Amino acid sequence: MFATLSDRLADTFKNLRGKGRLSEADIDATAREIRIALLEADVALPVVKEFVGAVKERARSEEVSGALNPAQQIIKIVHDELVTILGGETRRLRYAKSGPTVIMLAGLQGAGKTTLAAKLALWLKDQDKTPLLVAADLQRPNAVQQLQVNGERVGVPVFAPEPGNGTGNPVDVARASIEEARRRLHDVVIIDTAGRLGVDETLMQQAADIRDAVQPDEVLFVVDAMIGQDAVTTAQAFLDGVGYDGVVLTKLDGDARGGAALSIRSITGKPVMFASSGEKMTDFDLFHPDRMASRILDMGDMLTLIEQAEKAFDSEQAMRAAEKLGTKGGFTLEDFLQQMMQIRKLGSMTKIMGMLPGMGQFRDQLENFDEREIDRIQAIIQSMTPAERENPKIIDGSRRARIAKGSGRQVSDVNQLVDRFFEARKMMEQMARGGGVPGMPGMPG
């Protein structure tokens, strides 16, 4: 996600590092590089212009010239502006004050709507809601069945027209589903509507008819982020044709550039509310502009990481670990091991490590990450005494040799692990103190 942009911006900031003052030429050069970075990330031109203009203006202002370290100030400004174009505040779902909350999904075929419907249902279930999925996509031959399969996977019932009655009217199905939800006390209704291969009038009309019939609390436009600027064009067409309240970006995992995510809000004026980033039902979450900006700038996304750990596992332990990050030297190798073992259950390390600050420079290694490496790290830590895990500073040469032997690894492996641990801890402590916003020790390089 956003790999191109992250790398580009990291290079840009590298050139600024160590400069005590920024000349007009420095600012111009930086602005130019940021412009290229955004264009390469496939961000829409008007958005690029506005972004670069804002950064430039602020870079010339007091906040930068008066600062001790102008380069860090520039990074902070870029962070702020990224948060702004990504939508500012996290836009959360609005629930109906009485009766079931009705969420209607619209979008092109293949956008990932049906998958998304189930992911959203699961996410709502985790928020203690009792959702009902509604199959109002009666166009695509097996759309109903696909939703039923997905519904089963996440344990959420699906309301669909009787089999053999496949020519039914989607507006009637949608209307009937609300009645069904009231009867069966579902508090959220998720209506999956038909998509087409391209934007067309009939499709828009049908979506508009369903919308008028059920008066949804939220109409969400689902769009494949991998199609880049086409996503933005389609989003605009749907906005004019049907209208919606928020956007859901799918397949962010396959989108190295990020152009759609970065442009869609500014172009349509509608917030990105959710992001889907994988084939698994749990690869889905609220879209947090500030966290996304931190990820782009390779400042990590510890909040999401800790949240996920809390959700799936021992929340007390996760809380303790989070607290320890805030105290100097508080986070130990034992904590690291415990967290690693818990987090590991969440899925691939590649994904999880990607949320740690400063990992951008290891992107290639991450992508080729050998999951067995975790077994090796685990073996090394488990070959340490409790005292060593609590206070890794005592691990001297002879202890390293013993640990290497005990875990069947080389001394260099032990060295590497211990060094990396100290480095990561320092970085995380600084982030925790700085509230995760730049002062920016987490920056790469």
Q: Which residue has the tokens 């519904």?
A: 151
Classify burial at 21, counting beta carbons within 10 Å of its beta carbon; exposed 0-12, middle 13-18, buried 19 or more.
Answer: exposed
**Among 30-38, 107-115, 390-398, 418-426, which window interacts with ligand GDP (CB under 6 A)?**
107-115
Q: Closest separation between CB of residue 402 and ligand GDP, Å?
A: 45
Residue 193's region, left for phi above 0, alpha for psi from -120 to 50, else beta, is: beta
Binding positions for ligand GDP, 374-433, rule CB under 6 A = none
Binding positions for ligand GDP, 188-207, rule CB under 6 A = 195
Pick one of 12, 72, 73, 115: the residue that binds ligand GDP (CB under 6 A). Answer: 115
Residues 210/233, Cβ–Cβ less than 8 Å: no
Pick one of 67, 110, 346, 434: the residue that binds ligand GDP (CB under 6 A). Answer: 110
CA 103, 99, 160: angle at the middle one, nearest 5?
A: 50
Q: What is the largest CA-CA distance in the chain?
A: 76
What is the number of helices (H) and of strands (E) in the chain? Answer: 21, 8
Q: Closest separation between CB of residue 49 and ligand GDP, Å?
A: 30
Question: In whole angstroms, what is the distance from residue 106 CA to residue 192 CA?
Answer: 7
**Among 66-74, 87-95, 168-176, 251-259, which window interacts with ligand GDP (CB under 6 A)?**
251-259
Q: Closest separation between CB of residue 115 and ligand GDP, Å?
A: 3
Q: Closest separation between CB of residue 149 and ligand GDP, Å?
A: 11
Question: In whole angstroms, what is the distance from residue 188 CA to residue 37 CA?
Answer: 41
Q: How far apart are the first and last CA of the chain?
A: 20
Q: How many C-beta atoms surround the C-beta of residue 78 within 10 A?
A: 25
Pick one of 155, 254, 329, 408: the residue that binds ligand GDP (CB under 6 A). Answer: 254
**Among 65-73, 157-165, 236-244, 247-255, which window interacts with ligand GDP (CB under 6 A)?**
247-255
Q: Extract the annotated binding site for GTP.
A: 107-114, 192-196, 250-253
# binding residues, ligand GDP (CB under 6 A) = 17
Q: Extract the annotated binding site.
A: 107-114, 192-196, 250-253
Is there binding between residue 170 and ligand GDP (CB under 6 A)?
no
Per the DSSP assignment, residues forming a β-bridge with 398 are none
Residues 393, 394, 395, 399, Cα dihedral to 10°: 180
Residue type, 295: R
Site track for ligand GDP across 264-293, x = CB under 6 A:
------------xxxx---x----------
Is there binding between residue 308 and ligand GDP (CB under 6 A)?
no
The contact set with ligand GDP (CB under 6 A) reads 109-115, 195, 250-251, 253-254, 276-279, 283
